[in-house]
Chains A and B, each alone.
Chain A
Amino acid sequence: MDPPDERASVGGDGALDTELDARLDTEPDARLDIGLETELRSLAQHVDFPPTPDLAQAVRSRLEAEVVGDYPAPAPAARAPGGPAPATSAWSAEDATAPIPIDRARPWRYRVRRSTLLAVAALLVLAGVVVAVTYALGGWRLSFVEQLPPSRPTATVPAAASVGGATATPSSRTLVPTAPPVGSTLGLGELIPPGAAATGIDFPALAPPTLSELGSPDAVYVDRVPTGGMVSYVYAPRPGYPETSQGSGVGLIVTQFRGDLRRGEYFEKLATSGTTVTRTLVRGGNAYYLSGALHAFLYRPPDGREAAEERFRLVGNALIWERGPLTVRLEGALTLEQARVVAESID
Chain B
Amino acid sequence: MIGPSTSDDDLVRRAREGEIVAYEELVRRYQDVAFRTAYLVAGGASEAEDAAQDAFMKAHAALPGFIGGAPFRPWILRIVANEARNRRRSASRREALAQRAQSATEVGHGDLSGVAPSPEVQVLANERRARLLAAVEALAEPDRLVIGARYFLELSEAETADLLDVPRGTVKSRLSRALGRLRDTYGVVDRESSGE
List A residues at the B interface (Cβ < 8 Å): 1-3, 6-7, 9-10, 23, 27, 29, 31-50, 52-60, 62-64, 71, 74-76, 78-79, 85-86, 88-89, 91-93, 96-97, 100, 102-103, 105-106, 108, 111-114, 129-134
Contact A62 B182 (CB under 8 A): no
Q: List 29 A-B contacts (CB under 8 A).
A: A1-B7, A9-B157, A10-B150, A10-B157, A40-B152, A43-B151, A44-B152, A46-B100, A47-B98, A47-B99, A48-B97, A49-B36, A52-B31, A56-B24, A59-B60, A60-B21, A63-B23, A74-B18, A75-B17, A78-B67, A85-B65, A86-B65, A89-B65, A96-B71, A100-B79, A102-B59, A106-B61, A113-B50, A130-B61
Contact A106 B62 (CB under 8 A): yes
State in angstroms the CA–CA spacing of A52 and B37 once bound together.
Answer: 11
Instruction: Tell me if B147 is interfacial: C-beta within 8 Å of chain A.
Output: yes
Contact A6 B151 (CB under 8 A): no
- Chain B 171-196 interface 0/1 with A at a Cβ cutoff of 8 Å (1 = within): 00000100110110010001101101
Q: Give A185 Cβ to nearest chain B Cβ, in Å.
A: 35
Contact B62 A100 (CB under 8 A): yes
State in angstroms the CA–CA spacing of A54 and B74 once bound together.
Answer: 20
Find chain B residues with CB under 8 A from A9 CB: 156-157
Instruction: Tell me if B119 is interfacial: C-beta within 8 Å of chain A.
Output: no
Contact B154 A76 (CB under 8 A): no
Q: Per a CB cutoff under 8 Å, which of A34, A45, A54 touches B109?
A: A45
B interface secondary structure, majority: helix
Instruction: Tell me if B164 is interfacial: C-beta within 8 Å of chain A.
Output: no
Residue of A nearest to B73 (CB): A2
State in angstroms the CA–CA spacing of A136 and B174 once bound together.
Answer: 51
List B residues at the A interface (Cβ < 8 Å): 7-9, 16-18, 20-21, 23-25, 27-28, 31-32, 34-36, 39, 45, 48-50, 52-54, 56-75, 78-79, 97-101, 109-111, 128-129, 132-133, 136, 147, 150-152, 154-159, 161-162, 168, 176, 179-180, 182-183, 186, 190-191, 193-194, 196
Contact A47 B27 (CB under 8 A): no
